[in-house]
Copies of this chain bind each other. A is one copy, B any other.
């Protein structure tokens, strides 16, 4: 009988090794040898679990995105605007790990941004997130916690992009004037203000 190995475990081990390497040396400077060595196996072994470097990297993306989806899918339905804002606040709270990974993300998947498949995959992710927000917003509108005039559908997409912008800058830029807590609070204020207020008369367009 041959060695008994947990295939899934080995795959994960290799994926984490890849991540480690990508973070340490960058995607382009990481060889399959590096990944194997980091995982403590031989170069050839890598190819028992992944067809190619590309496929391995794609699997890594899948792992990431699944993780993200799971994170957002566990958000409970909010009973009040206050609760909703708290949920958004949690999303704005980025930790060091997320920062690290955000940077690698562009390193690794930069070239994929030119591919329709990749951006579609990413788009779907944000779409799902927007749908989640949408459900919450409709709830709040029913409960008259937010302005009835808002188009919650579109709004959910806008907020999704909004949060992404904030989080992205949070992850990428270290030396900001304002600290993260202040940024977060101001962001939420801006949001609450926008959600509560009836349609402004300023807009003519």
With a cutoff of 8 Å between Cβ atoms, the chain B residues found around residue A189 in the complex are 150, 194, 199-200, 203
Q: Is A96 an interface residue (CB 8 A)?
A: no
Question: Contact residues of A with B, CB < 8 Å?
Answer: 2, 23, 26-28, 44, 81-82, 85-86, 89, 102-114, 119-120, 122-123, 126-127, 147, 150-151, 153-155, 157-166, 168-170, 172-178, 182-183, 185-197, 199-200, 202-205
A161 to chain B, nearest CB (A): 4
Q: Which DSSP category, helix, strand, loop or mixed, fits chain A's interface? A: helix
Report yes or no: A154 in contact with B178, Cβ–Cβ below 8 A: yes
Measured between beta carbons, the chain B residues less than 8 angstroms from A27 are 110-111
CB distance from A155 to the nearest CB of B (A): 6
Q: Which residues of B contact A85 (CB under 8 A)?
A: 202-203
**Would you mind naming 22 contact pairs between A and B with Cβ atoms under 8 Å apart?**
A26-B111, A26-B114, A28-B28, A82-B202, A104-B114, A106-B110, A107-B114, A123-B172, A127-B176, A150-B189, A151-B182, A158-B166, A160-B169, A161-B169, A164-B165, A168-B168, A185-B205, A189-B203, A190-B190, A190-B194, A192-B200, A196-B197
Question: CB within 8 A of A205: which of B89, B107, B164?
Answer: B89
B157 x A177 contact (CB < 8 A): yes
Contacts of A120 in B (CB 8 A): 175
Contact A151–B186 (Cβ < 8 Å):
yes
CB-CB < 8 A to A109: which residues of B?
A: 106, 110
With known contacts A114-B103, A151-B186, A176–B196 Cβ distance under 8 A: no
A162: chain B residues at CB < 8 Å are 162, 165-166, 187, 190
A106 contacts which chain B residues (CB < 8 A)? 106, 109-110, 113
Instruction: Select from chain B the residue with minimum beta-carbon distance to A176.
Output: B157
A155 and B186 form a contact (CB under 8 A): yes
